[in-house]
Amino acid sequence: MKLNKSTISSNLTLAIAKGRIFEEAQGLLERSGIKILDYSSKSRKLTFETNHKNLQVLVVRAGDVPTYVDHGAADMGITGKDVLLETGAKNFYEILDLGISKCRMMVACRQGHSNIGITTRVATKYPKVSKQYFLKKGVQAEIIKLSGSMELAPTLGLADQIVDLVDTGITLRENGLEATDLVFDVSSYLIVNKSSMRIFREKIQDFIRVLDSSLRD
């Protein structure tokens, strides 16, 4: 199913996480008849028109998508479940699992060091989901917040474990780590600002219907 050119008559803004999510979201949108115009991964431009003259696309960091949508700076957003579970923002509906940018949030430790006691030091970019995970397990976790390269922390003695995204497992392996537990499966979702949903209900529902049907094609 393709989005009809007359479907979107009011201005709608869609914020998409840059990088790997953007590339995959672009493919999905194209299958739905929505072409992002003049996009190039090398471009420094952050807003793009689409072939639907009232739909605009913003390119923002994955972790910022909920903020844009929460404040209504974007009506809709596409970002990872990891980001959605970590954010404190609430003023949006999580509408559709797009099944793109799939990976897993995992606990990992140094190879052969999976025996962890009732206290542990955990390096992660995801303090909220990590705290909740260890609390449920009855393990007292000291969370050490990092912004990236978590895989270094156990080897350097900064942490006993990490909580991070795993796809192929290559990053873990090449840094002497092994995955021990699944925290949750990750894919990217379409989110919609609550007020936008009320005001532009029909347009947004048409958009959702078309995306949903492309997922099934």
Residues of the shown chain interacting with ligand ATP in the complex, contacts defined by CB under 6 A: 17, 19-21, 61-63, 80, 82-83, 101, 103, 165, 167, 186
Closest CB to ligand ATP among residues 13, 101:
101
Work out how close the CB of 180 gets to ligand PRP at its nearest, in angstroms, rounded to a whole number: 14
CA–CA distance from 156 to each of 29, 65, 160 (Å)? Answer: 43, 33, 10
What are phi and psi for residue 193, nearest 5 degrees? -60, 140
| Helix (H) or strand (E) segment spanning residue 102 | none
- Work out whether 106 is an interface residue with ligand PRP (CB under 6 A): no
Three-state DSSP class for residue 123: strand
> Which partner from the list ligand PRP, ligand ATP, none does 170 bind, CB cut-off 5 to 8 Å by kind?
ligand PRP
Distance of CA 47 to the CA centre of its chain: 19
171 binds ligand PRP (CB under 6 A): yes
Place of tokens 């809709």: 76
CB 188 within 8 A of CB 100: yes
Which listed residue (164, 177, 188, 203) binds ligand PRP by CB under 6 A? 164
72 is in the binding site of which of ligand ATP, ligand PRP, none (Cβ under 5 to 8 A by kind)? Answer: none
For ligand PRP, the closer CB: 127 or 169: 169
Work out whether 167 is an interface residue with ligand PRP (CB under 6 A).
Answer: yes
Residues in the chain: 217
Which chain residues interact with ligand PRP by CB under 6 A? 148-149, 164-171
